[in-house]
Amino acid sequence: MTTDLKALRDTLRARAETDTDPEALLARIGPAYRRRRSRRLAGAASAVVAVGALLAMLVPRLLFGGYPLPAPPAVPIGSPAAEAIGADPQMIHFDVGQFPYEVSSTTWAVQDGIEQLSMSGSIDDSGASFFVELRLAPETRSPAPNPTGLPEEPRQLHSAPATVGGRPALVVTGEEATRVTWQPIAGVRAELSVRGRVPANKAITFAGTLSLDRGHQCVPSLRPTALPADARITGCSIMPNVGHGQYVIRGPGGTITVWVFTGVFAHGISPGAPSSTLANGWPYQELDASGNTQHYTAHIRVPDPYVEIFAQGAYGLPEVLLVGAGLQPS
């Protein structure tokens, strides 16, 4: 019995009328008291949980000034030579630190000799979005045109020198856009493009977190083992926050793109649609490749494991089936 209930019992006994049973009153009061006390304790516990959740969101930013990015596991690689950047389509030779705003999605990729990180998120609860792309390539290899970068003639164009990681850099700012270019090591060009209401000084600070001592492997859950004659893997990308991945295979005849998703395609083979089986035993469905803007010549879907494969150029269904049958767990 708690101290409060004991004091109440003694008071009732001392002041009870002749027809009053203090023990009966206590028998009725006790459970109600305990229920009320339990509710107070539960409320206090809920408050502690809520504060804990808030701290879990705020502590990373309060302590480190930013948010960690979704990324594949980092591996130590040592400082690479300039010619190593972009040479291996399944190795990203850089890592970065935290970003000043919470990032909702990232794509780590190597595409045609360019290593890049693309990411997006929201600056605040207003829904204002930002888009970021960081690209690394040897100076001897010019990056392909970047459709998400700064426009050719941004409004309110302004250029200024800066320092990134102790190296000279050039910062170009436009209307809600910033581009930072520098050489993290001799012979390698880095370009950071930021769109959205991200202050230029925060973009420069993020650029300074670039490290070439750590890297990331691009390893989707499946990997191609059979390619058309004279074709090779030229690109790989992975989205760690959702587990999706992509391979780009190029050869003299064209391009094959393999999208690897997580889990199983929920709808399976479309009802009434003809289905066939790849040489490895996976059922697949051939889809219409005509109604698209990418000029696909063939398109198949494997529901389990969930994979979609596209062909362009002179490649067609035979090459798609060859690649699909050769997919194996990574």
The predicted-structure confidence for 196-227, as pLDDT tens digits, reads as follows: 999 999 999 999 999 999 999 999 999 999 99
Please tell me whether residues 127 and 182 are part of one structural domain.
yes
pLDDT value at residue 274? 80
Q: How many domains is the chain built from?
A: 3
pLDDT value at residue 53? 42
Residue 216, in any domain of the structure:
no
Q: Which two tokens stand for residue 109?
A: 């990729």
Please tell me whether residues 278 and 170 are part of one structural domain.
no
Residue 73, in any domain of the structure:
no
Whole domain around residue 143: which residue ranges? 80-211
Q: What is the mean pLDDT of the chain?
A: 84
**Residues sharing a CB contact under 8 Å with residue 318, sequence separation 6 or more, in sequence order:** none
pLDDT value at residue 13? 57
Residue 296, in any domain of the structure:
yes
Please tell me whether residues 196 and 316 are part of one structural domain.
no
pLDDT value at residue 14? 57
| Residues in the chain with pLDDT values less than 50 | 12, 44-64, 143-153
Distances (CA, A) of 228 to 121, 271, 284, 297, 316: 38, 32, 19, 15, 11
Tokens 């529901």 -> residue: 303
CA atoms of 282 and 277, how far apart (whole Å): 5
Of the candidates 20, 36, 64, which is a domain's last residue? Answer: 64
Distances (CA, A) of 220 to 4, 48, 141, 159, 244: 63, 40, 26, 39, 7
pLDDT value at residue 176? 92
pLDDT value at residue 109? 99
pLDDT value at residue 59? 40
Of the candidates 180, 211, 242, which is a domain's last residue? Answer: 211
pLDDT digits (tens, 9 = 90+) for 68-110: 999 999 999 988 999 999 999 999 999 999 999 999 999 999 9
Residue 72, in any domain of the structure:
no
Of the candidates 64, 93, 112, which is a domain's last residue? Answer: 64
Residue 75, in any domain of the structure:
no
Please tell me whether residues 199 and 95 are part of one structural domain.
yes
pLDDT value at residue 151? 45
Please tell me whether residues 8 and 38 are part of one structural domain.
yes
Please tell me whether residues 200 and 114 are part of one structural domain.
yes
Please tell me whether residues 195 and 87 are part of one structural domain.
yes
